[in-house]
Structure 1
Amino acid sequence: MPNEVKSLNEECGLFGIWGSNENETAGLIHDGLHSLQHRGQEGAGIVVMDNEHHIHRHRGLGLVSQVFSDNYVFDDLKGNIGIGHVRYATAGSHGVKNIQPFTFHLDDFTDFSLAHNGNLTNADTLKRTLQSKGASFNSDSDSEILGQLIKMSKQVKFIDRLKEALRQIKGGFAFVLSTGDELIAALDPNGFRPLVIGRREDGSYVVCSETCALDQVNARYIRDVKPGEVVIINNNGITNDFFTNDTNLAICSMEYIYFARPDSVIHNVSVHEARMRMGALCAKENPVDADVVIGVPNSSLSAALGYAKGSNIPYDMGMIKSQYVARTFIEPTQKKRERGVSMKLSVVKSVVEGKKVVLVDDSIVRGTTSKYIVQLLKRSGAKEVHVRIASPALRFPCFYGIDIQTTEELIAANHTVSEIKDIIGADSLGYLSVDSLIKAINLKNDHGEGSGLCTSYFDGKYPTPLYDYQAQFDKSAEELGLYEEDNYIERSI
């Protein structure tokens, strides 16, 4: 799809609650999912466990407000424990069958449900193995694999079944599970995806993808879930265990750059403040003589403010984003996609007319949207447009939960900065360096060494083996000459 107007998209957002009033649980999950809507707009679902351990579920395609538009839906979602999910597909097809949470029945054991954020890098291998042992899959999402591994386990206790299953899956994963008595959270050994714990005044506990969802339901932040950790919440309070001790925090740096809401805090780092620092350091590395700084709404506004402060160039609201236009990259034709972008973004002409403009964005994927925005600004009277990207150039795929899994779709993997500048029609183009990105986020891993970040999309250094994706990556990397001496990257571990 060479002409696709494509943004970055992550798989989903998670929300779970334990110990709430049975009449309020589904509503609280709904509100939490609404605050996580930016993490997935394809579909949403809620599962609630009642006092008799029966599972009640409602799910559908569309936004949270669309899936749960009828109040009567909540009449059937009664219970003290529940989990919810918003989805954007990075693995598996689009359709209701892949909308989570998924539910499972264990004969003479217990029923349970789960929701997943991330991408399993050995999913194909595991699925073939499970099917050879008689497992039947109800979806084509990799998220169902954990449930099938739990069902296949010979362990007696559910937590032991879960830990055994978690040791078999690889890649990036954050899971929230519910049984009749417990809410459980689990995170991969590198903690690629964020997951936080909070508590409400009524004593109920919440586990969710971002702290903004805690704020939405008036829950007090307790802490982040640790890499390799399993957190169990039940009548005994919070207990924890680890399914592996071989852990090393490498959270996805795109959470800070793009995915998370600016009012969220991840591992004690404010997303808004990190983006401000990214912008300021980008101004230091890529100075330019200009009249005004503007940001591409909405995820780039914090970085644009930082660039303005770092450069002493005035910041202004030069672009407006309509909140009522659907995603554009799924439109079937280029003409419709471009029309969608034009409906979504508009220029405040009085801000840019006759001026040299610094346009700050968080990333460039294919370059098509950047080209359109530069043209839009120039048609609105901008004298010059200098594009500044408050992150390094995206040159490598992500296999841990972002829907960019080939180098062919990344403009920076195929063109130099100078070539990209010409392609998008900018007067100049500058990216933030990897070192400055790490400095801006200022996160240390659990061992006090390294950045605590995954920056593989920028430098090609993946913190884990790629398993089922390794051959695919090697093929595209060698075609692009990424293993050659002058452009050397390490093959994954």
Structure 2
Amino acid sequence: MTDAARPDAEDDHHWLDDDHPREECGVFGIFGHPDAATITALGLHALQHRGQEAAGIVSFDGRRFHSERRLGLVGDNFSKASVIEQLPGSVAIGHTRYSTTGETILRNVQPLFAELAGGGFAVCHNGNLTNGLTLRRQLIAEGAIYQATSDTEVILHLVARSKRNRFIDRFIDALGQIEGAYAFVGMTNKKLVGARDPLGIRPLVLGRLDGHPIFASETCALDIIGAKFEREVDPGEVIVIDEHGELESLRPFAPRTPRPCLFEYVYFARPDSIAGGRNVYEVRKRIGATLAQESPVEADVVVPVPDSGVPAAIGFAQDSAIPYELGIIRNHYVGRTFIQPTQSIRELGVRLKHSANRAVIEGKRLVLVDDSIVRGTTSRKIVKMMREAGATEVHFRIASPPIRFPDFYGIDMPEQDKLLAAKMSLEDMRAYLGVESLAFITIDGLYRALGETGRNNAAPQFTDHYFTGDYPTPITDLVSEGAKQLSLLAEAS
């Protein structure tokens, strides 16, 4: 049996990662501040949880654009004065990346930059364009020359080819041609621009530091620099900061009922961020409490899978009156590539990142709480670790519904046939994980934890397709690729 066929197979790239959806990306931009690049680097540091593969900053000093794009962590690349000195100017935008489309190579690291007819334009993007490949093929057929494999480059070509006169009109013209989820931050030699997709799937907020406007993916990026949160960029809104620092709000698209991404609350956003007017930490505690009400269990101790399972485990423990303990200790200093992932080392993988706290676990009935299960590979190993540490029973409680469908909006979830809940029944998953009981929060329970009465099936309040299969926008690339495959099959037959 090949690795690809084994249910517990893990590719080399993620052999040491938690069994969670991979992060999205983080964007940041500031206008008019004398230390724009330094502020941007600090903002990206706060957004590091959204992507750890690469980071980049572009600044403008009034005459020239300056760019530094590096593979690796923000702190490893932008903490040195020698790097920041290469980024002079009072306007800067930055990006921290986890690749959902395109390879992890330097030419894909954002912000991307191009010289257009009206001057330079730099842009960075959180999300994924569901017609990006289709547009890319069309543009290349018409003579466009691509430098990167990221879908973000589409926006540069669309802006460059627009026949509108003003830059902002060309930018809006480009937005009108794309589908999917996006939060864009862009800059020209005169303007800073922020834009959010019409459904508000990807987050973007507006803040100010000493009067200077800022765009960021999350409010935690404002907190780290002492900036004031002003408001969220509304779904479908384009905000333009002109050369005088004046703000103009444009709403070029027909209004739609917002559907922000549920996974921001379940996993992606930092717990200290505010999203949709809700404190993420408090939401996650309520999710845990709701989970305890829906799926109670007799146990001695509640143990979180760190770090993302911690708030939900606290909520579960408080609601069920079962003691909360740190039964798993996480090592935060293990990198992906500190050692070659040979088979013998691969088998140690989960222990390099998580260690059992035997004093808490031995002889106890555990409630193990995690935010989600994707492939189930790491979850299975953690359960085994609990058994070996002396747990008499392990009851698994998951603070999201079963993930049965892939994502096309900027979350790196595997194909459907690699999703555990898409392949197995609840009982089969329980047996595969090796636990006494397994329960997920219901979709209505998740909505209630967010302050709703439940899911409005006629008009869902959030983007939740990974649980329900209800995709909020067309998936043009998937449809066109399917049609292409059918055409090839027909030709071969």
Fold-level similarity (TM above 0.5): yes
The 1:325/1:308 distance shift into structure 2, 3 A limit, reads: same
Q: Does 1:203 align with 2:214?
A: no
Shift of 1:138: 0.8
CA deviations on 1:380-405 (whole Å, 9 max, x unpaired) are 11111100001000000111111125
The 1:421/1:70 distance shift into structure 2, 3 A limit, reads: same
Q: Does 1:325 align with 2:334?
A: yes
CA deviations on 1:365-423 (whole Å, 9 max, x unpaired) are 01110000001111111111100001000000111111125201100000011101111
Tell me if structure 2 keeps the 8 A contact 1:371–1:424: yes
Tell me if structure 1 keeps the 8 A contact 2:32–2:245: no
The 1:240/1:332 distance shift into structure 2, 3 A limit, reads: farther
Q: Does 1:398 align with 2:411?
A: no
In structure 2, runs of 5+ residues without a counterpart are: 486-493
Shift of 1:75: 1.1
The 1:387/1:214 distance shift into structure 2, 3 A limit, reads: same
| Residue matched to 1:307 | 316
Q: Does 1:361 align with 2:374?
A: no
Tell me if structure 2 keeps the 8 A contact 1:11–1:117: yes
Further displaced range: 1-10 or 165-174: 1-10
| Residue matched to 2:54 | 43
One-letter amino acid matched to 1:102 = L
Instruction: Give 1:85's match in structure 2, choosing from 74, 90, 95.
Output: 95
**Residues 46-445 of structure 1 correspond to what in structure 2 (within 5 A)?**
46-52=57-63, 54-107=64-117, 109-200=118-209, 202-234=210-242, 235-327=244-336, 335-442=344-451
CA distance in 1, matches of 2:125, 2:297: 43
Tell me if structure 2 keeps the 8 A contact 1:325–1:340: no
CA deviations on 1:73-99 (whole Å, 9 max, x unpaired) are 111111111001010011011111110
Tell me if structure 2 keeps the 8 A contact 1:442–1:451: no
Shift of 1:228: 0.9
Shift of 1:248: 2.4
Tell me if structure 2 keeps the 8 A contact 1:438–1:451: no
Tell me if structure 1 keeps the 8 A contact 2:304–2:313: yes
Shift of 1:214: 0.5
Shift of 1:69: 4.7
Question: Secondary structure in 2 aligned to 1:26?
Answer: helix
CA deviations on 1:235-276 (whole Å, 9 max, x unpaired) are 252211023114221111111000110000111011111111
CA distance in 2, matches of 1:405, 1:475: 21
CA distance in 2, matches of 1:412, 1:233: 45
Question: Secondary structure in 1 aligned to 2:270?
Answer: coil
| Residue matched to 2:490 | none
Tell me if structure 2 keeps the 8 A contact 1:354–1:383: yes
Tell me if structure 1 keeps the 8 A contact 2:212–2:245: no
CA deviations on 1:328-364 (whole Å, 9 max, x unpaired) are 8x97666544433211111211111100000000000
CA distance in 1, matches of 2:356, 2:43: 32
CA distance in 2, matches of 1:354, 1:475: 57
Tell me if structure 1 keeps the 8 A contact 2:20–2:372: no
In structure 1, runs of 5+ residues without a counterpart are: 477-493
Instruction: Give 1:469's match in structure 2, choosing from 465, 468, 478.
Output: 478
Question: Secondary structure in 2 aligned to 1:462?
Answer: coil
The 1:150/1:103 distance shift into structure 2, 3 A limit, reads: same
Shift of 1:300: 1.0
Question: Secondary structure in 2 aligned to 1:453?
Answer: coil
| RMSD of aligned Cα (Å) | 2.2
| Count of aligned residue pairs for this structure pair | 468
CA distance in 1, matches of 2:342, 2:252: 46
| Residue matched to 1:482 | none
Shift of 1:326: 2.3
CA distance in 1, matches of 2:31, 2:316: 42
Instruction: Give 2:27's match in structure 1, choosing from 14, 22, 29.
Output: 14
Further displaced range: 111-120 or 235-244: 235-244
Question: Secondary structure in 1 aligned to 2:263?
Answer: helix
CA distance in 2, matches of 1:170, 1:367: 31
The 1:217/1:468 distance shift into structure 2, 3 A limit, reads: same
Tell me if structure 1 keeps the 8 A contact 2:31–2:245: no
Tell me if structure 2 keeps the 8 A contact 1:399–1:405: no
One-letter amino acid matched to 2:75 = S
**Residues 13-32 of structure 1 correspond to what in structure 2 (within 5 A)?**
13-21=26-34, 24-32=35-43
Question: Secondary structure in 1 aligned to 2:85?
Answer: helix
CA deviations on 1:197-217 (whole Å, 9 max, x unpaired) are 1011x2111100000001011
Question: Secondary structure in 1 aligned to 2:69?
Answer: strand
The 1:116/1:352 distance shift into structure 2, 3 A limit, reads: same
One-letter amino acid matched to 1:49 = F
Identity of aligned residues (%): 46
Question: Secondary structure in 2 aligned to 1:454?
Answer: coil
Q: Which runs of 4+ in 1 moved over 3 A?
A: 330-338, 470-476
CA distance in 1, matches of 2:189, 2:452: 37
